[in-house]
Amino acid sequence: MRISVVTPSFNQRDYLEQTLRSVLSQQGDFDLDHIVVDGKSTDGSVNLLQSINDPRLHWTSQPDTGQSDAINRGLLAATGDIVGWLNSDDLYTPDALATIARAFADPNVQWVVGRYQIIDHQGSVIRPSVVRYKNRLLNRYSYRSLLRENFIAQPSVFWRRAFGQQIGPLDQSLHHAMDYDLWLRMGKACDPFILDEVVSQFRFHPKSKSGRLNRERFDEDYLVASRYLNGDELSRWIHRINNEKIVWAYRVMGLMGM
């Protein structure tokens, strides 16, 4: 089995080395293909990539039109049976890819969703209450519940490359919710296999898109969900209520320094 990991990156030198290490240190019964798609960084990221002598790492550095464009380019270049993407400030946990490879040993599994942790800029685990909340929703997964709220952690998702080709690429018109749109398209085709293991660490920091809390992010989630609601007005209103709940929860946590 071959696993391709795509990492989009732009001026993330502060975290990129840790991300690369978390991928290239993975061991198990699989071949690894790590593709870094750099958007012509000017912060030393290219020098870092040039310094790594590992045949499993492939990278390019050229202008792109945004994160979705970079990820789509990486997915087109991927050669793995299984693919996923890891942003250049996030991490895989030890043995994450071995765990993923075991899950895909079942030929009926098309996409996998694992657990995650949230870490800060120093790598310390934070916001465990948020993770517990999303884990409860993941434990009761249904397509309708996913329409009502995005509770899937992006860096913990992997899928068969052939399945992804059937589903289609990321929507490059989306700036925040391109992952949510992909989950809804995948979920419409079949349910994911849910793992109990933590396979990724999502880094929350002020410079990240997620760290800059704004209504645009949640409005885009709602617009994406609306594409698939098909007249389910109850789920539409529940999604709106969930968005408000999340916005205010994050504001309170921010005020409390959490």
Question: Are 88 and 155 in contact, with CB atoms under 8 Å apart?
Answer: no
CA-nearest of 4, 8, 58 to 31 is 4
Residue 172 has pLDDT above 80, yes or no: yes
Residue 254 has pLDDT above 70, yes or no: no
Across 212-235, b (16+ Cβ under 10 Å) vs e yields ebeeebbebbeebbeebbeeeeeb
How many structural domains comprise the chain? 1
For residue 131, what are the contacts with CB-CB under 8 A and spacing of at least 6? Answer: 115, 116, 117, 118
Q: Considering the entire predicted model, what is its pTM?
A: 0.93
CA atoms within 13 Å, Cβ hemisphere of 9: 33
Which domain range does residue 245 map to? Answer: 2-255
Instruction: Please tell me the predicted confidence (pLDDT) of residue 217.
Output: 83
Q: What is the CATH number of the domain that holds 121?
A: 3.90.550.10
Left if phi > 0, otherwise alpha if psi is -120 to 50, otherwise beta: which for 206? alpha
Cα distances from 20 to residues 25, 26, 48, 86, in angstroms, run: 8, 10, 10, 10
d(CA 188, CA 169): 15
More confident residue, 128 or 205: 128
Q: What percent of the chain has pLDDT over 90?
A: 85
Instruction: Please tell me the predicted confidence (pLDDT) of residue 186.
Output: 98
Question: Side chain identity at 247, as an amino acid letter?
Answer: V
CA atoms within 13 Å, Cβ hemisphere of 138: 25
CA-nearest of 40, 36, 33 to 11 is 40
Tokens of 24: 């290239």
For residue 33, what are the contacts with CB-CB under 8 A and spacing of at least 6? Answer: 2, 3, 4, 5, 56, 58, 78, 79, 80
User: pLDDT per residue over 52-97, tens digit each?
Assistant: 999 999 999 999 999 999 999 999 999 999 999 999 999 999 999 9
More confident residue, 250 or 139: 139
Question: Side chain identity at 217, as an amino acid letter?
Answer: R
Tokens of 137: 């929703």
Instruction: Please tell me the predicted confidence (pLDDT) of residue 216.
Output: 80
Residue 210 has pLDDT above 60, yes or no: no
What's the pLDDT band for 220 if we cut at 50, 70, 90? very high
d(CA 152, CA 186): 12
Instruction: Please tell me the predicted confidence (pLDDT) of residue 20.
Output: 98
